[in-house]
Amino acid sequence: MKRFIILFLLFSCFIPGLVADEGSPDHLYRQADNVPEYSQILVKYDTSHTNTVPDIHSLATEIQAEVITDYADLNYPGLYLVRVPGERDVLDSVSFFESQPGVSYAEPDYPIWFDRIPNDPEFMHQWGLYNTGQVYKPNGTPGIPGADVKAPDAWDVSTGTKDVVIAVLDTGIDYYHPDLSVNLWTDPVTGAHGYNVLDGSYDPLDLWGHGTHCAGIIGAAGNNSIGGTGACWNVSIMGVKVGESWEGTISGSIYGILWAAQHGADIMSCSWGESKPSRALEEVIANTDALFVCAAGNAETDIDQKPYYPASYDLPNVISVAATSPSDTLADFSNYGAETVDVGAPGVDIYSTWKGQSGSDVFWYDSFESLTNWSYIGDWHLDHQEYNTSPSSVCVNITFQNPSLQHYLVLHTPVNISGYSRPELVFSLGGAILWPLSSKLSVDACVDKKFEWKRIGEWAGAFLDFDDIHCDIPDEMRDSDILVRFIVQEQYPPEGVNKTLQLWIDDVRFSNKTEAYTPSYRHVNGTSMAAPLVAGVAGLVKSERQNLTPAELRETLMKTVDLKDELKGKTLSGGRINASAAIQYTPEPDTGVLSLKPGWNQISVPDVLEPGFDTAGIFLHVPSGGHALYSYHPKAGYVRVNETDRIRPLNGYWIYSLSLMDVPVRFQSDPSISKDLEDGWNLIGLKSRTPVPVIDALSCLGNNWTMVTGYNASVQWYDEPILREHYGNTSDNRSLVPYQGYWILMKGSETIL
């Protein structure tokens, strides 16, 4: 009775005219909401026969269609656009017209798809995404058309998804920036947009700019009529602040990685590094289920010879990125390595978001018309050629000839900052690449000429264009007269550096911050910019194929590069990243073959089978002579395997075939597979696609196995057993072979890996 009631309810739901509405049945024939009102086809007449064939208008009327365009009006006679009612099949209408005398052809009015060029007003600056040979920077030189990652073609496929989480392990993110705010990851528990490793808070606000720049390269909102765009128009950007002023620690990076992994990061962008290896960092990365996109570094160095970590870690989930130019060449500052640097990506003059500026009221200012306000030690001088505002800046030469040399520039007349609620020191900084050459710029302050200096800022980095640096004045120094000093420290002369580098300071001012906020953008150079671009492309690929493992995602990016002569011998792939090719890439199936002999066969598979090919249904075409497929369990004995049961890697199976037979299999690689073994006999397989000596294949079992033997299907009998050391011939190290099942005698429980 219960079944009848359910069926009746289903019947009444699906045929509402019979139960729910006893009136007019017209609603049963109402056109579905998603059927288009009309479709269109193009019909071409042979103009040499137009006087002897049916009129196009008359033909259209026969199928309730109408001619809406006659291209003769554009001096192209014989071509017509015909509108067909939506309920009529388009292909039927095409066939109708093609069957008429005098019609050369008819075809659907197919849609066309324009390249997804965003409406962001600054997109023309972003040559790395779309290079038409435009002048992408004021007073710059044009690039080479096509020297880009082919982003618009990729955006035709996907512009990303918020389901993909990309962690930016950097100096934080300006989460107030309007081009980033819509794409920020948000912790459902705390409401935070990431984590600050430096102070243990949930506030990853970027006070520097580098992390914000990387975040914008990955995922500045696209097509929002603001600024530029990221590689992903839609993504979840997780800010993990692991450093400030271009410096952090390995321990902080490890904490940031683990925190990001714990909170669901799929991809981690790492625009930082160190020449000294860390085993702890390597292990954490290796054991994290995410793709790490790592900058190769900016020291013009072959990191095959002088490694740079984490880019140099040889791990399947690490992709190392060099920087390329708008001319598709290796950037002159970029590290490289034929074995350790995987791909190139645009990294010169990359335009992206930067830390926004608070409003300020300036109450003291020096544009360095002279050095009247300053005392100095070291090679400081006015420079009338390089400056942020005219007429000059103050410049220091860095020669690297004296590792202990400190260059001091000291304000010798105190500035009264009392009465200001939020005072700050601001100055414009420009210069050559200082990092990773280990020179630093520090800023100290003291009050009331007591000369008890306190550090209020420290930096090491690439300031190729003048950049405003902001230093908050500590609370205890407010309401007083203040002095500041700039210190450039030459820590040691880097190997191979025999040239003088320069640093410029301009427009020093004291100001009082206000609540006003102005978003900022700028061009920056570095492999620090190339890495997040690859991370963004990885995010696009992941949006289309979310089941990809980190290793598979890396392989996709590597196999779809545009090959470039200058990157051959400089990178492992020999090419520059191509987003369009990557997002459309379909890998060749990972396949194998189970070869069956007539009679009983003892088989196994060495890896996880691909969904759809992972059940005993793959054996349906084997002529089994009525015999079943069996597995074996130490306690239950032989167990019949049904058609819908999964075929599990490292399990052994018995199968019967009446003839020689190859059974193709398709794998979905999973390096973490294992099988628990119990005391007594177990039926196992080899976790390898190639033969492995038994001592190596079973090393994970220690001394817990006694003997192992296979089954020779050609003679329908067992192989001679292999006895473990102390039980037989210690020199017997025959190989176990893939796809073969093996009996193994255990003396205790263990797991085969």
**Which of 57-71, 103-117, 175-189, 476-490 bottoms out in mean pLDDT, i.e. has the lowest?**
103-117
- Separation between Cα atoms, residue 174 and residue 213, nearest integer Å: 9
CA gap 672, 304 in Å, rounded: 29
Q: What is the four-CA torsion angle of 621, 623, 626, 630, rounded to 10 degrees?
A: -70
What pLDDT shows up at residue 246? 61
pLDDT, tens only, 386-424: 999 999 999 998 776 666 678 999 998 999 999 899 999
How far apart CA 311 and CA 526 sit, in angstroms, is 14
* Separation CA 60–CA 67 (nearest Å): 7
Candidates 180, 187, 166, 250; CA nearest to 209 is 180
> How distant, in Å, are the alpha carbons of 56, 329, 566, 569 from that of 575?
55, 10, 8, 10
Residue 232, both tokens:
């992903």
Considering only CA atoms, which of 601, 607, 610, 700 is closest in space to residue 649?
607
> Other CB atoms closer than 10 Å to residue 359's CB: what's the count?
12
Residue 291: both structure tokens together: 């793709």
CB 300 within 8 A of CB 273: no
DSSP assignment string, 460-479 = -SB--S-EEEEEEPPGGGSS
Tell me which H or E stretch contains 447.
strand 439-447
Distance, in Å, from the CA atom of 180 to the CA atom of 9, rounded to the nearest integer, reads: 50
Please state whether beta strands 267-270 and 291-295 pair in parallel, antiparallel, or not at all (unpaired). parallel
> At 70, is the pLDDT very low, low, confident or very high (cuts 50, 70, 90)?
confident
Distance separating alpha carbons of residues 613 and 416, to the nearest angstrom: 77
Q: Once rounded to an integer, what is the mean pLDDT over residues 187-202?
A: 94
Domains contained in the chain, CATH given: 1-30 (no CATH), 38-108 (3.30.70.80), 123-349+526-583 (3.40.50.200), 360-518 (2.60.120.260), 590-752 (no CATH)
Q: What is the pLDDT at residue 449? A: 75
Give 656's strand partners: 600
Query: Distance between CA 588 and CA 601 in Å, rounded?
Result: 29
Per-position b or e across 34-65, b if 16+ CB within 10 A of its CB: eeeeebbbbbbbeeeeeeeeeebeebbeeeeb
User: What is this structure's pTM?
Assistant: 0.69
* Tens-place pLDDT, residues 203-257: 999 988 899 999 999 999 999 999 999 999 999 999 999 987 666 888 889 999 9
Yes or no: say if 697 and 688 are a contact pair by the CB < 8 Å rule: yes
Q: How far is CA 198 from CA 194, 204, 241, 247, 253, in A?
A: 12, 9, 7, 11, 10
Q: What pairing do the DSSP bridges indicate for beta strands 291-295 and 318-324?
A: parallel
Helix 250-262 vs helix 279-286: crossing angle, to nearest 10:
10
pLDDT band at residue 35, thresholds of 50, 70 and 90? Answer: very low
CB neighbourhood size of 208 (10 A)? 24
Alpha carbon distances (Å) from 123 to 156, 331, 450, 617: 17, 22, 51, 52
Q: d(Cα 322, Cα 311) in Å, to the nearest integer?
A: 10
Residue 244's contacts (CB-CB under 8 Å, 6 or more residues apart) are 171, 172, 198, 207, 208
**How confident is the model over 597-647, as pLDDT tens digits?**
999 999 999 999 998 889 999 999 999 999 999 999 999 999 999 999 999
Is residue 500 predicted with pLDDT exceeding 60? Answer: yes
Integer Cα distance of 582 and 562 in angstroms: 10
Backbone φ and ψ of 399, nearest 5°: -100, -15
Predicted confidence (pLDDT) at residue 2 exceeds the cutoff of 60: no
Pick the range with the lowest mean pLDDT from 86-90, 276-280, 336-340, 458-462. Answer: 458-462
SS (H, E, C) 373-429: CEEEECCEEEECCCCCCCCCEEEEEECCCCCCCEEEEEECCCEECCCCCCEEEEEEE
What pLDDT score was predicted for residue 438?
53
Q: In sequence order, which residues have a C-beta less than 8 Å from that of residue 148 and are 6 or more positions away?
A: 127, 128, 129, 130, 131, 346
Spatial contact of 285 and 320, defined as CB atoms under 8 Å apart:
no
Q: What is the pLDDT of residue 546?
A: 92
| 448 pLDDT above the threshold of 90 | no
Between 654 and 502, name the one with better pLDDT. Answer: 654
Token pair, residue 564, equals 């470039």
- pLDDT at residue 590, rounded to an integer: 84
Q: What is the mean pLDDT of residues 112-141?
A: 83
The SS3 call for residue 458 is: strand
User: Residue 575 carries which side chain, given as an amino acid letter?
Assistant: G
Do you find a cis peptide bond into 436, omega within 30 degrees of 0? yes
Mean pLDDT of 577-606: 94
Out of 336-345, 398-407, 446-455, give the one with best mean pLDDT.
336-345
Distance CA 599, CA 596 (A): 8
Mean pLDDT of the chain: 87
The H-assigned helical ranges of 1-74 are: 2-14, 16-19, 56-62
How many helices and strands in the chain, by DSSP H and E? 12, 42
- Write down the pLDDT at residue 659: 95
Kindly calculate the radius of gyration of the chain based on its CA atoms and give it in whole angstroms.
35
What are 271's two structure tokens?
């625009």
Q: What is the pLDDT of residues 686-732, one digit of tens each?
A: 999 999 999 899 999 988 899 999 999 999 999 999 987 655 455 67
Q: Quick one: pLDDT band at residue 23, thresholds 50, 70, 90?
A: very low
CB atoms within 10 A of CB 555: 16
